[in-house]
Structure formats: structure tokens, C-alpha cells
Amino acid sequence: MSKVIIKNVGKIFNAAAGQIPALQDVNLSVEDNEFVTLVGASGCGKSTLLRILAGLEYRTSGEVLCDGQSINSPGADRAMVFQHYSLYPWLSVIDNIKFSRQLKVNRENLTSSDVEAASGRADALLNLIGLNKVRSAYPNQLSGGMQQRVAIARALMGRPSILLMDEPFGALDAQTREVMHDLILHIHRVEKTTIIFVTHDVEEAIYLGQRVVLMQPRPGRIHSTFAVPLPAQRTQEMKHTVPFRELRAEILARIRQSTGITTDLDMLDQLNLQSTSV
């Protein structure tokens, strides 16, 4: 059975201006240890879908199964990483990573060996993200890329089997993003998590994903799915190969076609249309 099964999921928001159909009839299955990327124009429901998977948002129709269980609330099997690092500024790097586990230890009166095991896990994660040297530093002493590494380690602390990432590298510069791409692929291999990763960036989606799922707006739904024809072990040079460039061009063309936006003037029209309809 697939790790994640999304069946006919719909979401309608009740806003002051009326009902907003954010998602309609979304169907998607994700396999265990798969890395799936979600792309699509702004407002097509990517974050809403991810939040429903995380159990942070209710769906209005349909069903979501993780390991065969229906999802209606957050759970330790799923962790989420957001664009903004949201670290605790008063805690050091290592304490940020341990934080959620510490809460659990306090709550469940675990033994000292459980606490030690948690410390070992935090140390292993610190190594995995390459930040051992700054374990005692505070978030405001770190670059954006380093902070996001800590946020990823913190998400992995409870050994989630599904990692949900919503534009996690959106605020980073191009060079740092490349480094983070190779890091997250490494983490995916080592931790064997299933990853569902939302991005605006088609190149990022192809480089990371085994499959790219394209969503389209009004109402948000799945437009098409593309298998990525690249070797599992990615290298930055692959971005310049013909299969990579062809897939990128095809996905970009489909995004333009599905949104009716081909120029920045079309975008302006769309925005005017949205503001007059609200």
C-alpha cells in the first residue's frame, strides 16, 4: 500500500468575501521513501494541501491516509518545515534540535536512558546537517541557511516517516540553496523519509523530486505529474543536460497554459481581476 493516499480531497475556505474553493478533487499517492515535489502558480493550494497532510487544516471533503490510517490531526509520523525557520531564539542550536523531544521526556517521565538516547539522536542529527562546530551558538548568530539546517534537524528529531516541506529554501540565496539541495537529498537517503516538498521553483522541483506534481489554480487541483528521468544520485551538472532542460521547459509551458499567464502584463490583469472580484 502507498505511504500516503490522498483521495478526492477538497477544501473550501469561508472568507469574509465568500467561499474560496482552495482544493477540488485532489488525488495523489506517494510511495514509501519517495521524494515528491509540488509546483504550481501562486494560490493553487500547495500550502493548503500540505497543511491538510500535516493535520493543521481540515479538509472539507475526501480522505487522507498515511500508512493506511485516516489523518485528522498532527502526529509524530509527520513533521513540517516552513519557509521561515521559526527557531526558538533563546535556545542554542543543540537545544533547539532537542526541544520537542525534551517536552516529550518531561511529559512522559522517561528514564535517563531514554534521555540519553534522545541526546545521541540530536548529536547524530547535528553531524548530519554539518553544524557540530556551532552547537552552542544561538539562532541570531547563524546565517539563514544554517538556521534552516537546524529547523530540518529539529523536524527530524522524532524520526517522522513523512517530512512535509513548504518552500523551505525560498528565503535563501541561490548558492546556499544549491548546498541545501544536496543536503536534503543526502538526508533523504540516510533517514529514508518520505518527502513531499512544495516549491515555486521548477528547477528545484526537478533536481530534488523523483516525481514532480504540477497543480493549477481556481480551484486548486492536480494538472499533471512528471516522472523525472535523471539518475537517483543527482549532481549539479545534471541541470545542464538535455533531459533536465526539456522537462523544465515542458513544465513551465504547462504552468503558463494552465494559468493563462505568459507575461507580467497577464499577471497584472489577473491581479486586477482578483481584486475586483473580492
Ligand X SMILES: Nc1ncnc2c1ncn2[C@@H]1O[C@H](COP(=O)(O)OP(=O)(O)OP(=O)(O)O)[C@@H](O)[C@H]1O
Residues near 58 by beta carbon (within 8 Å), at least 6 away in sequence:
11, 52, 72
Q: Which does 177 bind (CB under 5 to 8 A by kind): Mg ion, ligand X, none?
A: none
> Is 199 an interacting residue with respect to Mg ion (CB under 5 A)?
no
Residue from 46, 59, 98, 221 touching ligand X (CB under 6 A): that is: 46
Residue 210's nearest CA partner among 1, 84, 58, 31 is 31
Query: Mask of contacts with ligand X, 130-169, x by CB under 6 A?
Result: ----------------------------------------
Residues counted in the chain: 278
- b/e per residue, 52-72, with b = 16+ CB within 10 A? bbbbebebbebebbbeeeebe
Query: Could you give the CA distance from residue 1 to residue 144 in angstroms, rounded to a whole number?
Result: 38
Residues near 251 by beta carbon (within 8 Å), at least 6 away in sequence:
39, 202, 205, 206, 212, 214, 226
> Is 47 an interacting residue with respect to Mg ion (CB under 5 A)?
yes
Instruction: Kindly indicate which of the ranges 11-19, 43-51, 173-181, 216-224 contains the residues binding Mg ion, using the contact rule CB under 5 A.
Output: 43-51
Residue from 20, 110, 117, 171 touching ligand X (CB under 6 A): that is: 20
Cell 481540515 -> residue = 58
Q: Which does 188 bind (CB under 5 to 8 A by kind): Mg ion, ligand X, none?
A: none
Residue 25's nearest CA partner among 257, 219, 212 is 219
> Is 223 an interacting residue with respect to ligand X (CB under 6 A)?
no
Supply the minimum distance, in Å, between the C-beta of residue 109 and ligand X: 38
Supply the minimum distance, in Å, between the C-beta of residue 215 and Mg ion: 11
Query: Could you give the CA distance from residue 203 to residue 208 in angstroms, rounded to a whole number?
Result: 9
> Is 121 an interacting residue with respect to ligand X (CB under 6 A)?
no
**167 membership: H or E segment, kind and range:** none
> Is 44 an interacting residue with respect to ligand X (CB under 6 A)?
yes
Instruction: Kindly indicate which of the ranges 39-47, 66-74, 86-94, 249-257 contains the residues binding ligand X, using the contact rule CB under 6 A.
Output: 39-47
**For binding to ligand X (CB under 6 A), which residues are involved?**
13, 15, 20, 22, 40, 42-48, 200, 220
**For binding to Mg ion (CB under 5 A), which residues are involved?**
47
